[in-house]
Amino acid sequence: MTSGDGWTICASGHRHWGLFGAAGLLLADGERVVLQHRAPWTHEGGTWGVPGGARNGDEDALAAALRESREEAGLDGADVEPIGILVDDHAGWSYTTVVARPRRQLSPMAANAESVAVQWHAVSDVDSLPLHNGFALAWRRLRDVPAPLYLVLGPDVASHPLAARLASDGVAADRLPSGLTAGGLDRLLPHIIPADPAAAGQPPTHSQVLTVATAAELHSLV
């Protein structure tokens, strides 16, 4: 049991699970996504959605989503690359879906009693499944997964405190310059790397790259 387990009522009068909100992980590899078949005894049991659950009081959404995916799907956080987030806000209560890509070939599984099955599904097949109501609404936007964002920092801003803030909080879709996209997501979680061709961890071929040279450019992304 987590510190966030329990029902709460949002300002609109709707009942939600998670005293501090909830979060889940959608793992996507381009053509497929990992979904959880919920056990019959759970809320909306028998439907498909993402591994997820209540946030602890001391957790951000990313930490909660990674923890829940480990507990329910046997996924190690080190094996996934967070891309961005979609927030479903209900007047003070929110469910955050963290979208991530696998870093290697992964075989998710039903890791606890909350799941009947956890498995890969072709993106084209998702609409034909009996979906959890919340996930069904979010799926309209979640299916549009963008390429990962890399922020390449020049020497004048490499140690700027705003860089760490952007890495943890993400860059809002409406803050991205022309030519970059968040797909259907609200925010992208960028990789921060130095503008040094000799440094390790340079952007892969299939990624979005934004070079930031000044503090003013950093501020424009917050």
Name the average pLDDT for the chain.
Answer: 91
Domain match, 72 and 171 both: no
Q: In the listed set 99, 115, 142, which residue is the last one of a domain according to the structure?
A: 142
Q: Would you place residue 199 in the very low, low, confident or very high pLDDT band (cuts 50, 70, 90)?
A: low
Note whether residue 189 is domain-resident.
yes
| In contact, 166 and 190? CB cutoff 8 Å | yes
Mean pLDDT of 91-115: 92
Domain match, 171 and 95 both: no
The pLDDT of residue 214:
92
Range(s) of the domain holding residue 213: 149-219
167: left (phi over 0), alpha (psi -120 to 50) or beta: alpha
Note whether residue 2 is domain-resident.
no
Note whether residue 1 is domain-resident.
no
Note whether residue 112 is domain-resident.
yes
Domain match, 77 and 172 both: no
The pLDDT of residue 1:
58
Residue 42 carries which side chain, given as an amino acid letter? T
Domain match, 113 and 32 both: yes
Tokens of 9: 């009522």
Q: In the listed set 115, 142, 169, which residue is the last one of a domain according to the structure?
A: 142
Note whether residue 198 is domain-resident.
yes
In 3D space, the residue among 57, 100, 144, 56 whose CA is nearest the CA of residue 67 turns out to be: 56
* Distances, alpha carbon 122 to alpha carbons 29, 48, 55, 126, 127, in Å: 10, 13, 28, 7, 10
Domain match, 182 and 136 both: no
Give tens-digit pLDDT for 78-91: 999 999 999 999 88
Q: Would you place residue 200 in the very low, low, confident or very high pLDDT band (cuts 50, 70, 90)?
A: low
- The answer on pLDDT for 216 being more than 60 is yes
* Rounded Cα distance, 181 and 57, in Å: 32
The pLDDT of residue 12:
84
Mean pLDDT of 145-166: 91
Domain match, 102 and 188 both: no
Q: Would you place residue 208 in the very low, low, confident or very high pLDDT band (cuts 50, 70, 90)?
A: very high
Mean pLDDT of 88-106: 92
Q: In the listed set 124, 142, 160, which residue is the last one of a domain according to the structure?
A: 142
Domain match, 105 and 209 both: no
The pLDDT of residue 91:
85
Question: What percent of the chain has a predicted confidence (pLDDT) above 70?
Answer: 97
Domain match, 114 and 85 both: yes
- The answer on pLDDT for 182 being more than 70 is yes
* Rounded Cα distance, 194 and 211, in Å: 9
Note whether residue 108 is domain-resident.
yes
The whole model's pTM is what? 0.91
Domain match, 123 and 19 both: yes
State how many domains the chain has.
2
Q: Would you place residue 2 in the very low, low, confident or very high pLDDT band (cuts 50, 70, 90)?
A: low
Answer with the residue of higher pLDDT: 111 or 198.
111
For CA atoms 108, 110, 112, 114, the dihedral sign is positive
DSSP state of 6: S
- The answer on pLDDT for 197 being more than 90 is no
Domain CATH code at residue 110: 3.90.79.10
Note whether residue 194 is domain-resident.
yes
Domain match, 164 and 138 both: no
Domain match, 35 and 115 both: yes
